[in-house]
Amino acid sequence: MSNLGREKASNVSIFVQEALDGIEFAIGDPSSKWGSIRAAMRHPKPFDLRYVAVGNEECYSLEKSAYKENYPKFYKALKHYYPSIKVISNCDESVDQLGHPTDLYDFHIYSNASDLFSMAHHFDHTSRSGPKVFVSEYAVNREDAGTGSLLAALGEAGFLISLERNSDVVAMVCYAPLFVNVHDRSWNPDAIVFNSYQAYGTPSYWLQQFFTDSSGAMLLNTTLLTNSSTPILASAIAQWNSNDGKCFLKVKVVNFGSNKVNLKISVHGLESNSINSSRSNKTLLTSNNIMDENSFTEPKKVVLRSSPLENAGKDMEVVVSPHSITSYDLMLERQ
């Protein structure tokens, strides 16, 4: 919904109705005014619309200062006509307490790699009783990003670790932007680069593969004890397969520093004989230079590399490579 902050409160009803019409087109009954138009376009089935964001980055804009005054009118109308839809405000409650109701609030962050990595505790003290967080735009996009560098992925990895650890308040997250045509690059960097016949993922794309199992998994308590000055972060999740009773315990470690780290991983409450060492793996994302990138000529220069985890056990001593993201995946079998 655009123009929220530009309109006087007395005129905003036009845009409220425009929003309601758009939603009716998406999910209204085929017999409704706008739902019938959708049906006539050979899509009688409603779209799976669950969330509506009211505006985009207007809350703190001086040019669009009417946002906080206009927002409640949208919220009230949306909840009256479509109570099941989750409404997203773009006012950031992690900075200031909101003065209006919402189901989620939007959070955007673009930064350099070091600053994004240092945000590992940004949501640690966020209210657990307030609205959830939608991190709808995040990326390293300063000079150290290149057109998609390993360094950018390292900074983002630290931030994603923090989101995973705060998944009780962070409901959703997505990288921005996703695609770019190499011949029409208006934003930099992007996760997937393509031309008329090729495509490759940047290190930031491959980084996200470490978190594909996070949704629906059990977050485990972790304590990182180290006397090293090297900046590292870690998290652990467990995920069960209901079909075969098997479980993966995934420990992720991000080493943002230039030195290797000797780390002992200890898992409490786990029997050694429950670990299937033959199916336990280590997955690594790193490269020789922190500014290394993928390209059409070298699309897999910085990608995930998997290998058997030879010393898999409830107590493991591992060496974490400099400038790396590593996942230690233990295959468990219930006793």
- At 245, is the pLDDT very low, low, confident or very high (cuts 50, 70, 90)? low
Say whether pLDDT at 284 is over 70. Answer: yes
Asked whether the beta carbons of 275 and 335 are under 8 A apart, the reply is: no
Domain residue ranges in the chain? 59-211, 218-333
Q: Can you give the pLDDT at residue 335? A: 55
Q: Does domain 59-211 have CATH number 3.20.20.80?
A: yes
Mean pLDDT, rounded, for 123-149: 93
Classified by CATH at the fold level, domain 218-333 comes out as Immunoglobulin-like (2.60.40)
- What global pTM score does this model have? 0.90
Neighbours of 325 (CB within 10 A): 30
Phi, psi (degrees; rounded to nearest 5) at 193 = -110, 135
> CB–CB of 138/176 below 8 Å?
yes
For the stretch 70-90, pLDDT in tens is 999 999 999 999 999 999 999
pLDDT score for 324? 98
40-49 average pLDDT score: 97
pLDDT at 269: 76
**In sequence order, which residues have a C-beta less than 8 Å from that of residue 318 and are 6 or more positions away?**
262, 263, 264, 265, 311, 326, 328
What was the pLDDT predicted at 124? 92
Residues 51, 105 contacting (CB under 8 angstroms): no
For residue 239, the cross-strand partners are 248
pLDDT score of 273: 62
CA dihedral 91→96→98→104, nearest 10 degrees, is 50
SS3 180: strand
Q: What is the mean pLDDT of the chain?
A: 91
